[in-house]
């Protein structure tokens, strides 16, 4: 099995990261998948996408002793059909990350630093955030900004969010791991403050938020 690492947070949340090194056939043997989802998988043309889905199932089998059933709300947010444990999922071609907590809302995102983040700067950042970008660490900063905003978006589970206007990430200097402060502003002006954690590893950025 390819559990890459596990991280336990002080707030009782746990993060699990799976490195996708197996073949599709090997992942099938490690996964517990309902028949209807196997049919859905057969319709996905991309092998990488199929392996991502299977790796999520394999990691769930690694995390939980008992069999769990993964469902999705209408907005795409994942949930466990037979458990009250809160869950958020993210993946790239190489890694799957899952964060769980007994009761708190949460969100997680992961991205490869090989991705082109130029569109993020134009669409997801405020003028103040763009001003805080440095030339030296621009790609890393953009990746952290994007993952942080995605994690908050997943935690809020609200449609129609304007990333540039409604999600503000306080100024930060990127390191291999650290914390971020952020504010989410509802359309009625109500604000919610968040503290996020992030980690850089294997040319990837992962950001999470709990509570």
Three-class SS of residue 160?
A: coil
Q: What is the CATH number of the domain that holds 149?
A: 3.90.470.20
CA distance 88 to 91: 11
Domain check: are 172 and 132 in the same one?
Answer: yes
CA distance 208 to 195: 9
Structure tokens that stand for 182 in this block: 């952020």
Domain check: are 60 and 31 in the same one?
Answer: yes
Domain check: are 124 and 89 in the same one?
Answer: no
Q: Which parts of the chain are beta strand (E)? A: 3-8, 14-19, 70-72, 78-80, 86-91, 95-101, 106-112, 167-169, 177-185, 191-201, 204-210
| Count of other CB atoms within 10 angstroms of residue 180 | 22
Domain check: are 126 and 70 in the same one?
Answer: no
Domain that holds residue 7: 3-103
Domain check: are 38 and 82 in the same one?
Answer: yes
pLDDT tens digits along 73-130? 888 899 998 889 999 999 999 999 999 999 999 999 999 999 999 899 999 999 999 9
1 — pLDDT class (breaks 50, 70, 90) = low
Q: Among 70, 103, 136, which residue terminates a domain?
A: 103
Q: Choose among 192, 119, 203: nearest CA to 157.
A: 192
Domain check: are 95 and 132 in the same one?
Answer: no
Domain check: are 10 and 93 in the same one?
Answer: yes
pLDDT tens digits along 26-50? 998 887 777 777 777 878 888 888 8
| Count of other CB atoms within 10 angstroms of residue 107 | 27
Domains of the chain: total: 2
Domain check: are 15 and 99 in the same one?
Answer: yes
Angle, in degrees to the nearest 10, between helices 35-42 and 47-63: 160
Please state, rounded to an integer, the average pLDDT across all residues of the chain.
93
Q: Among 78, 103, 128, which residue terminates a domain?
A: 103
């Amino acid at each position: 099995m390819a559990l890459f690492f596990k991280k336990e947070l002080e707030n009782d949340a746990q993060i699990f990261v799976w490195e996708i090194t197996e073949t599709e056939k090997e992942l099938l043997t490690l996964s517990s998948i309902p028949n209807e989802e196997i049919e859905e998988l057969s319709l996905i043309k991309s092998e990488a996408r199929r392996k991502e889905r299977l790796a999520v199932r394999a990691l769930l089998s690694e995390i939980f002793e008992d069999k769990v059933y993964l469902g999705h709300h209408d907005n795409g947010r994942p949930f466990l059909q037979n458990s009250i444990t809160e869950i958020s999922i993210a993946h790239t071609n190489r890694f799957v990350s899952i964060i769980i907590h007994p009761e708190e809302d949460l969100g997680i995102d992961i991205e490869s630093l090989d991705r082109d983040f130029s569109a993020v700067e134009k669409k997801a950042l405020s003028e103040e955030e763009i001003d805080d970008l440095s030339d030296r660490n621009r790609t890393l900063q953009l990746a952290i900004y994007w993952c942080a905003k995605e994690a908050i978006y997943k935690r809020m589970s609200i449609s129609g969010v304007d990333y540039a206007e409604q999600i503000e990430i306080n100024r930060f200097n990127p390191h291999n791991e650290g914390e971020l402060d952020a504010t989410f502003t509802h359309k009625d002006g109500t604000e919610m403050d968040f503290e996020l954690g992030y980690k850089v590893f294997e040319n990837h950025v992962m950001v999470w938020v709990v509570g």
